[in-house]
């Protein structure tokens, strides 16, 4: 590999400084290898530990998202840089970050309800969604002819830990939704204002996403931040996956080249 090309003087200089920095000269080469491996692992680990996934849907695809639906899949389309869901069904469907499991996380996005189809019609934020029987969530919309914001746990197919407050939702108006979970605390903000919060300790990790039921809804500018979330965006994976892989490989190669 790169050892044949590495300049001896450069290698010696780095080796000397590394041994000096840890105060050891004996078995220097072994220590160097360990140091390089640790450096490599740290770089890779830090790149995976925390990040921000952004999607403004301007590239017209849903790469990186995976649908989780209750009862029936949804009809999702991207129109003019917005994600549109036509959901003439009482049960919700989500788009979640594919293959990403989170514990503490923040999800925010812009959304509106354009048309009502059912008596239950709402936009939802799914937090620590494990499957269709286990999720914590916020729901904002119409429930039995009341316009409310709900925070609850859907646990083994039942509503538990239910919290609700009146919320005068306006049809056709864009809102900025933000859901945060830290430890056991779940909090919902709408347009920067705290709407409700609740504590729940039964779900410690899961997927993160958004969706709707009983209406035609529009979504845009999704931003998800948290441990285990990759740095991607502004339009999801389509234009960034290559760059992300190149950056990660660049970090690994850099660490290896220093040593070998
Ligand atoms: Ca957009």
If one counts every other C-beta atom within 10 angstroms of the C-beta of residue 157, the result is 8
Which of 19-28, 39-48, 66-75, 239-248 has maximum average pLDDT? Answer: 66-75
The CA distance from 148 to 124, in Å, is 12
**Distance from C-alpha of 54 to C-alpha of 221, rounded to nearest angstrom:** 7
What's the gap in Å between 21 CA and the centre of ligand 1? Answer: 50
Residue 29 and residue 70 in one domain: no
| Average pLDDT of the residues in 119-145 | 96
How far apart (Å, rounded) are the C-alpha atoms in residues 9 and 170?
A: 70
Asked if residue 240 is part of any domain, the answer here is no
Task: Indicate whether 114 and 72 sit together in one domain.
Answer: yes
Q: What's the CA-to-centroid distance between 82 and ligand 1, angstroms? A: 5
Whether the per-residue pLDDT at 78 is higher than 90: the answer is yes
Mark whether 131 and 196 lie in a shared domain.
Answer: yes
> Are 29 and 116 found together in one domain?
no
Q: How far is the CA of 107 from the centre of ligand 1 (A)?
A: 16
Residues 251 and 225 in one domain: no
Q: Each residue of 34-52: pLDDT tens digit?
A: 545 554 455 445 445 789 9
> How far apart are the CA of 115 and the centre of ligand 1, in A?
20
> In which domain, by residue range, is 10 found?
4-46+245-259
- Indicate which CATH number applies to the domain containing 198: 2.60.120.560
What is the distance in A from the centroid of ligand 1 to the CA of 44? 31
| Range 156-185 average pLDDT | 97
Centroid of ligand 1 to alpha carbon of 186 (angstroms):
27
β-strands 175-182, 185-190 pairing: antiparallel
Query: In this structure, is residue 237 part of a structural domain?
Result: no
Is the domain of 111 the same as that of 159? yes
Q: Does the structure show a pLDDT above 90 at 238?
A: no
Cis peptide before 234 (omega within 30 of 0): yes
Confidence of residue 117 (pLDDT cuts 50, 70, 90): very high
Query: Which residues have CB under 8 Å from 94's CB, separation 6+?
Result: 67, 68, 69, 124, 126, 129, 209, 210, 211
Are both 25 and 104 inside the same structural domain?
no
For residue 217, report the distance from its CA to the centre of ligand 1, in Å.
14
Contact 163, 202 (CB under 8 A): no
Question: How far apart are the CA of 81 and the centre of ligand 1, in A?
Answer: 4
Q: Please list the helix, strand and coil fractions of the chain in percent, rounded to the nearest 5, in that order.
A: 25, 50, 30
Mean pLDDT, range 229-252, rounded to an integer: 68
> Do residue 196 and residue 69 come from a single domain?
yes
- pLDDT tens track for 202-216: 999 999 999 999 999
What total number of domains does the chain contain? Answer: 2
Same domain, 128 and 218: yes
| Per-chain mean pLDDT for the chain | 83
- Ligand 1: centre distance to CA 76 (Å): 15
Cα of 88 vs centre of ligand 1, distance in Å, is: 24
Q: State whether 58 and 99 are in the same domain.
A: yes
**pTM for this entry:** 0.76
pLDDT given at position 187 = 98
Report CA(211)–ligand 1 centroid distance (Å). 16
């Amino acid at each position: 590999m790169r050892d044949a090309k590495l300049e001896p003087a450069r290698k010696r200089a780095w080796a000397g400084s590394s041994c000096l920095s840890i105060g050891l000269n004996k078995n220097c080469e072994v220590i160097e290898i360990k140091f390089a491996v640790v450096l490599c692992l740290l770089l890779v680990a830090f790149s995976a530990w925390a990040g921000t996934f952004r999607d403004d849907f301007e590239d017209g695809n849903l790469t990186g998202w995976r649908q989780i639906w209750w009862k029936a899949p949804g009809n999702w389309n991207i129109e003019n840089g917005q994600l549109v869901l036509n959901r003439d069904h009482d049960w919700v469907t989500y788009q979640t970050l594919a293959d990403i499991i989170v514990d503490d996380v923040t999800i925010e996005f812009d959304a509106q309800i354009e048309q009502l189809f059912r008596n239950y019609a709402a936009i939802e934020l799914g937090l620590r969604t494990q499957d269709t029987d286990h999720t914590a969530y916020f729901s904002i919309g119409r429930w039995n002819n009341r316009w409310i914001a709900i925070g609850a746990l859907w646990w083994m197919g039942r509503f538990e830990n239910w919290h609700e407050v009146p919320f005068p939702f306006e049809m056709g108006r864009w809102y900025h939704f933000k859901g945060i979970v830290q430890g056991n605390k779940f909090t919902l903000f709408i347009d920067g204002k705290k709407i409700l919060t609740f504590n729940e300790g039964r779900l410690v990790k899961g997927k993160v996403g958004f969706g709707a039921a009983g209406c035609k809804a529009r979504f845009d500018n999704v931003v998800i931040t948290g441990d285990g979330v990759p740095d991607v965006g502004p339009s999801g994976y389509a234009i960034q996956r290559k760059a992300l892989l190149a950056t990660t490989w660049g970090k690994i190669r850099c660490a290896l080249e220093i040593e070998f």
